[in-house]
Amino acid sequence: MIFTTLARLHRSWMSAVGVPPPQDDDVSTAPSSSAAAVARREFILGLQPGDPEHENKCRSFVDKALSSCPKVKFMREALKALGVRSSDADFVTCAHCPDGAATAGGYLPEFKLVLLCQQWVAQQPSEVENTLTHEMIHAYDDARAHMNWMDLTQHACTEIRAASLSGDCNFRRELDRGNLHPANLGGAGARCVRRRAELSVAMHPECPDADVAAKAVARAWETCYADKAPFDAVGTHLY
């Protein structure tokens, strides 16, 4: 999930570093890659410092995933093909997230970056690869469709795709969550994707309640659950 939870926080972060938040009618405007890079750097410099040990651990796990995880490497190349500067050292940033964020991180479209909460990574290193892939799918959708992130249906679409393609809903993860038993194995993956997408959309600042989130996911479901880009050319073995 991720953009959604951080959406409640990134405006205060931007204000803290002197970067004005976008107006609601400007959210779908895609800045140039150079402008995004400058804004990204200003944003990163303004992040509050956290535990250096957490930062070092986060950076180590991120670097390992970027260099050795097949699906993360694949997404990085797919983003580059769309003109995203995914090889920039700060495209994936570790930072201390504000207390109470209760999130792993997020894709921040204003800055074209993936941010991972370093205190979460230090506690959940095994989740880094799937989380990076999830956020890179959001970045991919943003780059190819110039998304309006305030539109709940568009947001639902990318959450459906990210949950489906990142590994968030594979058999082992659902089994570990206690969501599988012999009587409900059929359609378990789709149920997981729908559940996680609805939870993410429900945290969107423009979403008033869970019922509205469910309706947004339902509107996007048929098209977006079937959309496997950029993995459609390589099959499902990467995720």
Q: Where are the domains of the chain?
A: 1-145, 151-229
Q: Of residues 55, 110, 135, 174, which has the active-site annotation?
A: 135
Q: pLDDT digit string (tens) for 199-227?
A: 999 999 999 999 999 999 999 999 999 99
Q: What is the pLDDT of residue 89?
A: 83
Predicted TM-score (pTM) of this structure: 0.81
Euclidean distance between CA atoms 48 and 221, whole angstroms? 38
135 annotated active-site: yes
pLDDT averaged over the chain? 81
CA 73 centroid distance within chain:
16
Containing H/E element for 13?
helix 3-16
Encoded tokens for 2: 């991720």
Q: Residue 187 pLDDT more than 60?
A: yes
Contact 217, 1 (CB under 8 A): no
Q: What is the pLDDT of residue 46?
A: 66
Q: pLDDT digit string (tens) for 14-59?
A: 333 333 333 333 333 444 556 666 666 667 656 767 889 999 999 9
For residue 4, the one-letter residue type is T
> In the structure, what pLDDT confidence band is assigned to residue 149 with cuts at 50, 70 and 90?
very high
Encoded tokens for 238: 């990467």
